[in-house]
Structure 1
């Protein structure tokens, strides 16, 4: 019986009303060429052979592999509707997958990569949406939930029935006549001919047993770690079919596959078992008709051939070059265009994030040693808060962490720990009051200056600022106005060489604010230092977080706070008695003189300045904003609802100035956006100009991008005959043309010259593009 028919009955129970929103209304998702999700595919937990591809569920994401085309990763940027996949189940009859995400959004994925979203369950008013398992039988997917059974018609991409049986269901199997639901009390059976919306029509078939129900070849089986059992549909009794120590069962097409530490076992449609000895620690195996595809959580997918009933491991495991975890709390770019990722937190987001240290460049991802470090130091290694690369040695790094001290690395391997026992680093809890005193040496904001000095903060102790000089000498600075402050986050060096440090959090004894130090370029001589801590933001007494401070290309300091962005227009006034922390007023342009403060009340967690002096704002719950150089115009506002952005909570932003790619570290993982601004060249030179795509083919409808211009360069597009087609201004070093004339028409086929002009208006650099209509 369909749900919409059932709701016509006036005497239905109130709790059934929530299922009205589960009536169809599906959405087809489109991929985006501007966005690239950098998800973790490290921990492979499931593999499925389908459509001549091997699919994998790994770290909550999906990828597939074909020998001809290699690895293809799937994510929100390629068309999936969400992040963090819990269940990925294949329907062989329909050649479709059902995907259930951790927020209980649902996608139907076809083998041509088309995605159809079914969001109604996620958006329903059901209080507890927990899904414990997903079973596929015929055209339907059966969701085992904490209240009963939800049925999804995978052919029509709609919810067909929902049965609230008042029990937590952990697995489901079906016949044409009956649905069997495993619960903590035992197996409940519901005859389809009865009204199964009435929970009284679900009968307890057998008492409590801990096993998983599954369908294979029109029969029902039970799986436990000690083997596979037949299931009697009449009385729920079990009969042992295959005993052994197995970690998973996979009803894989025409074979059911059991995976154990010493063997793979298949069962065919006639119930005949075949054992393939193999000593391994695989946790899952799929059968492709002749061979196995097996996976281990940290070693990718392994092709295992069957040669005369003897298994042979072939080739290298299939692995994706990707982040080891979806943790990206702090991002930064090095001068050689290497993205550094620290995946911990300063105890704001998670108490004990696994130590995650990664780097990304044109060669892919590098994972620094992490799990083994805890064993080496005899303590937990968690909450990495920053990573700094030695400007004189790109294989040498320092890692700050909200635990134990400062970590030194060489070639991605741990070298030594500096803590309260062997360095000036101090601990929050002295040895006299805590046996774990070493753990409380909290460091943050690790950063190199242009002279090669390493700066970092040692939070919540008297002497909070330390420096390690290139020769290894340590310097420690005591500032009474910030002694004991607990949450310093970032160190930023401006164009003057001044040091700006934000104190993040308001406590009962400490204020959020900005500390600035002018050390006059002499780290060894403090006699000429000028420093001040400011926490009074004009007209904004309710600020409880100051997240960041950066300088734009006009020398203005931009500050991210819990109440929006503030600026210091003239940073020299910071050391005066009163500093003007100003908010940008954006005119309403409604015929009045009224305006509104830029992003007032929006928590700005990070700010990055692109090559065009535009500002990218990360926020705590509102996605990301791109505003013009003066802050008066919002160019983009990306959210997870209107873009592939993974989450509206964004911790950090880093920009590759050479390519214009903008990276966002979110609570759900890392994603990048191909922006239209790059770092400008100091002078105009035709050798610097690069245009792409070139040629522009008839089917291409995007922009032509030309990089290599100077800042705010005047650019003209002209025909071979010198006729002006289009003109504009570069954003930083990048100019974009939509292949249309000033009248909006598609440019005719031919060669077009793209000319940059210097400040005097003289032609200075030219490149050309071929347009094919």
Structure 2
């Protein structure tokens, strides 16, 4: 069968083989929102929000599939596994169909791109297999898919006069196909009829609105938009189960029928007598999307607690068997340091409106795995948006909230929530602690945390851990309508201790701590050269230059300390040459959501609609550009970036999941003891760059051939450099052994390494 299937794949290339990115990427998806599940043999096939996992009930292990393995990253609506053909089928809200065949992902876009169907009516609702055919229930009709030949068959529009109607499920019994609809009753037709595309071949058995259909113990069961499960005999419906609330779904195994309500899952035997029931309670609450029973075990697919496993003989014990991951896929703010990543899931719109307030907890990733601090442990804080790790005490973390103030975590335990009632942070609604709008924060060299505080005159605060009061900086000097400013985004600090704050309509405000002078770059400032006063991202790079990301492009302030002596400070555009040699502005009119400099001082730039760009340190060369089309990013709207200088890993936060790119640029080391070049040797066919890491800041790196001829030289800006294996960019060097000569900035320390290149 497998040989025949592979032959068919070669003959009928009507689909897309998705690319596997697992060599260079890791997906950190959340598996706590379960949308659907299916049991076959000894495995549970589980659809989470936009990834899937397969749980082996014998080994109690899971295999995950996400965008890193080639899935689309769109919202999954249903999942099914064919034991006959060993194919896992995944349906999506947008009509996309994906198959996992021999651990490869195959993507079908036929439904997604069908022009005659409105985009809002392409959702895949249900799968049913009969012989070689998979019947796909959609919001527009029924689609056949041949599992043996791996290709689509006919599409049946079975509404009145052949119209498109919402099919909620199908089943086949005695050569008759039955279909339930959301408003056109229960339909049937002879499954052997070669003319099922003719709507006249379909008959309406009973009217009504139905959520699904299944075949259990040779009986056809349907469930309506209420609390009834009913048996269909001809044109007669008989109630067999009366649930306590509306029936969401029904699943079956060989001996049991599981009825799913939002707050309970009840298992019935073949006589429709209740066997067990798992019920949500105040002390142990859950919200169900799916459930199934299998081998005397109940599996609950919850909306936020993952997949819960319950033994029939011990209903009080629920074991979470979802793969480890963050609490949510809506990763809004991230911060990495020394092989540790903190994640928050707060949310606000473009106008800094955090309502409805989101309380989602905090997640932390270490080499030991994921640690989750639940929403019940964050002292009521909502809209957590920005993270600062204390560099002098990495077990102390401060998280800003765009509603609740400043959250403090020590040794993974939430210890304090600072707001207007117990600290110097201010609310813009008198005495109301849910209007303390804090966001970007940064530690200075003295261990103080500087935090922006929106919609008040004292828009910049210096907070000392262990204290409660703050040192206030009145920004109304630079922002006359500071109270009316909707919000601030980033706060950064340069080498001299100067602070810069970006915001909604305030551009960039600079504050010199020593002189208390302020400057502003905005459209109100003559010659400031900002393309937009809405500044979303700020980054001080390793050359002490300020990179500014705005709603409509990017700018650089080259002299951050000297700017306070200028009457009209001005930021600079980055002009590059396009492929035809025409000058143009880098990322013209793009909405920049974040900018980060890596260990080589190259720039990672996140955008709201074009994915992520990786530029050389001066922005003149595009080293990489990641989008949904060429990477596992689930969306081109990337909200935040964080780089772990200790490993070179680059993390991307999106509203659809968290991704990690295995970068090579690391931060500067204290000495040259661990200088290494990789790949080494460089083998034939390698077209990338050689990374030399383990450098101290501003190390001089010279590369020579074995005879001492210099072929490359660079001063490191961080802890690594990259060499394209050319002689100063002119031509590729020949095969041979090359010497890497490294000298520290003070010339007191040197080291030599060897690199073998084979062409």
- Report TM bin, short chain: 0.7 to 0.9
Which residue matches 2:672?
Answer: 684
* Aligned counterparts of 2:211 and 2:96: Cα–Cα separation in 1: 27
In the alignment, structure 1 residue 515 sits paired with structure 2 residue 515 = no
Deviation at 1:195, TM superposition (A): 4.9
2:602 match: 614
The change in CA–CA distance for 1:555 and 1:94 in structure 2 (over 3 A counts) is same
Which residue number in structure 2 is paired with residue 15 of structure 1?
none
Aligned in 2, Cα 1:708/1:183: closer, same or farther, shift over 3 Å? same
1:645 aligned residue: 633
Cα 1:465–1:700 change in 2 (3 A) is closer
CA distance in structure 1 between the aligned counterparts of 2:579 and 2:202, rounded to whole angstroms: 64
Task: Determine the structure 2 residue equivalent to 1:159.
Answer: 152
CA distance in 2, matches of 1:53, 1:670: 27
CA distance in 2, matches of 1:453, 1:763: 34
Q: What is the CA-CA distance between 1:612 and the residue it aligns to?
A: 1.0
Give the CA deviation at 1:530: 1.2
Pick from 530, 547, 565 the counterpart of residue 536 of structure 2.
547
Aligned to 2:375: 370
Q: CA deviation at 1:148?
A: 2.8
- Distance in 1 separating the partners of 2:249 and 2:609: 39
1:447–1:210 Cα change, 3 Å: same
How many angstroms does 1:603 deviate by? 1.6
Match of 1:173 in 2: 171
Q: CA separation in 2, counterparts of 1:681 and 1:641?
A: 36
SS of residue in 1 equivalent to 2:111:
helix
Q: How does 1:187-206 map to 2 (within 5 A)?
A: 187-191=186-190, 193=193, 195-199=195-199, 201-206=201-206
Quickly say closer, same or farther: Cα 1:767–1:571, change in 2 above 3 A.
Answer: closer
Q: Tell me the distance in 1 between the aligned counterparts of 2:257 and 2:699.
A: 63
Distance in 1, matches of 2:343 and 2:473, equals: 28
1:328 aligns with 2:331: yes
CA deviations on 1:148-177 (whole Å, 9 max, x unpaired) are 333333443433222332333333334534
Deviations 1:626-646 (A, max 9, x none): 111121111111110121112
| Corresponding residue number in structure 1 for 2:95 | 104
1 CA distance for matches of 2:687 and 2:271? 57
Tell me which residue corresponds to 1:56.
46
Post-superposition Cα deviations, 1:178-227, rounded to whole Å, max 9, x if no partner, equal 34232324223345538554545543321215452124577632246756
Q: Is the 8 A contact 1:717 1:755 kept in 2?
A: yes
Alpha-carbon distance between aligned partners in 2 of 1:315 and 1:754, rounded to the nearest angstrom: 60
Structure 2 counterparts to residues 13-52 of structure 1, below 5 A:
25-32=14-21, 33-50=23-40, 52=42
The answer to whether the 8 A contact 1:676-1:735 is kept is no
How many residues end up aligned between the 2 structures? 707
Is contact 1:330–1:651 with CA below 8 Å preserved after alignment?
Answer: yes
Query: What's the CA shift for 1:81?
Result: 2.8
- 2:146–2:152 CA contact under 8 A, matched in 1: yes
Matching of residues 415-494 of structure 1 within 5 Å: 415-430=415-430, 437-472=432-467, 473-480=469-476, 481-482=478-479, 483-484=482-483, 485-494=485-494
Match of 1:344 in 2: 346
1:242-291, CA deviations, whole angstroms, 9 ceiling, x for partnerless residues?
A: 56667753234x45541578986465xxx577865465658555555x45
State the alpha-carbon separation in 1 of the partners of residues 682 and 506 from structure 2.
Answer: 52
Q: Does structure 2 retain, via aligned residues, the 8 Å contact 1:149–1:169? A: yes
Please name the residue that 2:520 is paired with.
Answer: 533
Does residue 137 (structure 1) correspond to residue 140 (structure 2)? The answer is no
Which blocks of at least 5 consecutive residues in structure 2 are unaligned? Answer: 1-11, 281-285
| 1:425-478: CA deviation from partner (whole Å, max 9, x where unpaired) | 3333336xxxxx442222211332221212222211222222222440422221
**Aligned-partner Cα distance in 2 for 1:311–1:682:** 56
Residue 571 of structure 1: aligned partner: 560
Q: How does 1:711-722 map to 2 (within 5 A)?
A: 714=701
Deviation string 1:376-432 (CA, Å, 9 cap, x unpaired) is 65xxx432121223344444333322213333344444444333334333333336x
Conserved 8 A contact 1:46-1:295 = no
Q: Which moved more, 1:222-231 or 1:478-487?
A: 222-231
Post-superposition Cα deviations, 1:655-684, rounded to whole Å, max 9, x if no partner, equal 011111111112212111112322233542
- For the structure 1 residues 227 and 455, does the alpha-carbon distance in structure 2 shift closer, same or farther, using more than 3 Å as the test? same
1:90 aligns with 2:73: no
For 1:701 and 1:338, how far apart are their aligned partners in 2? 32
Equivalences for 1:210-609 in 2 at 5 Å?
210-215=210-215, 220-223=220-223, 228-232=229-233, 234-235=234-235, 237-241=236-240, 248-252=249-253, 254-258=254-258, 265=267, 276-277=275-276, 286=292, 290-292=295-297, 294-295=299-300, 297=302, 300-301=306-307, 310=313, 317-334=320-337, 336-348=338-350, 351-352=355-356, 353-371=358-376, 373=378, 381-430=381-430, 437-472=432-467, 473-480=469-476, 481-482=478-479, 483-484=482-483, 485-503=485-503, 505=504, 511-520=505-514, 528-536=515-523, 543=532, 545-575=534-564, 576-588=566-578, 590=580, 594-609=582-597
1:72 partnered with 2:63: yes
Kept after mapping to 1: 8 A contact 2:125/2:136 = yes
Distance in 2 of aligned mates of 1:182 and 1:275? 27
Q: Please say if 1:113 is aligned against 2:103.
A: yes
Looking at structure 2, the residues matched to 239 and 191 of structure 1 have their Cα atoms a distance apart, in angstroms, of: 23
Give distance in 1, aligned partners of 2:668 and 2:129: 58
Contact 1:755 1:763 in 2 (8 A): no
Task: Note the C-alpha offset of 1:615.
Answer: 0.8
Query: Secondary structure of the equivalent of 1:402?
Result: strand
Q: How far apart, in 2, do the equivalents of 1:300 and 1:383 lie?
A: 22
Equivalent in the alignment of 1:758: 743
CA contact (8 A) 2:551 2:589 kept: yes
Which range moved further: 489-498 or 41-50?
41-50
Cα separation, 1, equivalents of 2:37 and 2:678:
38
Q: Is this contact kept in 1: 2:463–2:470, CA < 8 A?
A: yes
Unaligned runs of 5+ in 1: 1-22, 432-436, 506-510, 521-527
1:559 and 1:646 map into 2 onto residues whose CA distance is 26
Distance in 2 (CA, whole Å) between partners of 1:123 and 1:597 is 35
SS of 2:434's partner is helix
Q: Report the Cα distance in structure 1 between the residues aligned to 2:712 and 2:753, rounded to whole angstroms.
A: 14
**In 2, distance between residues paired with 1:266 and 1:515?**
66
RMSD, aligned α-carbons: 4.2
Question: Does the CA contact (< 8 Å) of 2:92 and 2:123 recur in 1?
Answer: no
Contact preservation (8 Å) 1:75, 1:83? no
1:104–1:131 CA contact under 8 A, matched in 2: yes
Query: TM-score, structure 2 length as denominator?
Result: 0.81
In 2, Cα distance between the equivalents of 1:425 and 1:696?
A: 56
Structure 1 counterpart of 2:3: none
1:753 to partner: Cα distance: 8.5
Other structure's SS at 1:120 match: coil
Cα separation, partners in 2 of 1:49 and 1:188, compared to 1, 3 Å: closer
CA distance in 1, matches of 2:559, 2:594: 21
Secondary structure in 1 aligned to 2:112?
helix
